[in-house]
């Protein structure tokens, strides 16, 4: 009986340590890349909260194989029109082709361009602050195959306060504020 209780205790401890490590890795990721998400919101009108939550899910907070080796933080596959570098990984299909980038900044920029395609045009009719509607629409439009994708995005946004990552341009209409966000951040290689 003691062995069962002790084993149960060890499992709970291990689960707690894993959750704590995951929580910290998400916080570290957010701190490192939030300025990129905010800049992309400023430039393209994509909510920083959505961009950050997608990056966390798709790259496992920058720790997935395609994020580490290919600097692809959004799980964007090659597609027929991709002519850049590639990386392969089993996903929906065996040996799926994913886009590969020279740095993380390129991944964030390509993610914005990817969402600006006609397929995702309906997203831009949704207010930037309505992250729940953005999450549901992304799922409806087929961004991810996971049936719980929208709920996962919303949970990460709410658990980590990502809805507060909103670009505000109260002082001017020029790009200086957006450019300054990057200069105050980390290296994105």
Conformation bin of residue 95: beta by default, left when phi > 0, alpha when psi is -120 to 50: left
The pTM of the whole model exceeds 0.85: no
Token output for 37: 């998400």
Residues with Cβ within 8 Å of 102's Cβ and at least 6 positions away in sequence, in order, are 71, 85
Task: Please report the pLDDT score of residue 187 as a whole number.
Answer: 42
Task: Please report the pLDDT score of residue 20 as a whole number.
Answer: 56
Instruction: Yes or no: say if 74 and 111 are a contact pair by the CB < 8 Å rule.
Output: yes
Beta-strand runs (E) in the chain? 86-89, 96-99
Residue of 123, 125, 127, 124 lying closest to 150 (CA atoms) = 123
Token output for 136: 């549901």
Cα 75 to chain centroid distance, Å, stands at 9
Question: Which of 1.10.530.10, 1.10.1370.30, 1.10.40.60, 1.10.20.60 is the CATH number of 29-62+103-183?
Answer: 1.10.530.10
The neighbouring-strand residues paired with 99 are 86
d(CA 73, CA 116) in angstroms, rounded, equals 17
Q: What is the dihedral of CA 121, 113, 105, 93, to 10 degrees?
A: 90
Residue of 130, 124, 132 lying closest to 149 (CA atoms) = 132
Per-residue pLDDT tens listing for the chain (189 residues) = 666 655 545 454 444 544 556 689 999 999 999 999 999 999 999 999 999 999 999 999 999 999 999 999 999 999 888 999 999 998 777 889 999 999 999 999 999 999 999 999 999 999 999 999 999 999 999 999 899 999 999 999 999 999 998 765 544 444 444 433 333 334 444
Residues with Cβ within 8 Å of 73's Cβ and at least 6 positions away in sequence, in order, are 33, 55, 58, 59, 62, 67, 104, 107, 108, 111
Token output for 189: 């290689």
Task: Please report the pLDDT score of residue 23 as a whole number.
Answer: 80
């Amino acid at each position: 009986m003691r062995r069962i209780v002790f084993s149960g205790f060890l499992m709970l401890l291990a689960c707690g340590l894993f959750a704590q490590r995951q929580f910290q890795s998400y916080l570290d990721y957010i701190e490192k890349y939030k300025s990129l998400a905010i800049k992309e919101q400023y430039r393209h009108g994509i909510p920083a909260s959505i961009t950050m939550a997608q990056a966390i899910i798709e790259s496992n907070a920058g720790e997935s194989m395609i994020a580490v080796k290919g600097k692809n933080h959004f799980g964007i596959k090659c597609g027929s029109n991709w002519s850049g570098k590639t990386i392969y990984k089993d996903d929906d299909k065996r040996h799926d082709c994913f886009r590969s980038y020279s740095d993380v900044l390129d991944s964030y920029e390509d993610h914005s361009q990817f969402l600006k395609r006609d397929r995702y045009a309906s997203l831009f009719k949704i207010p930037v602050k309505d992250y729940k509607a953005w999450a549901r629409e992304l799922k409806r439009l087929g961004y991810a195959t996971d049936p719980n994708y929208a709920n996962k995005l919303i949970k990460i946004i709410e658990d980590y306060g990502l809805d507060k990552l909103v670009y505000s341009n109260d002082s001017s209409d020029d790009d200086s504020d957006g450019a300054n966000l990057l200069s105050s951040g980390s290296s994105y290689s």
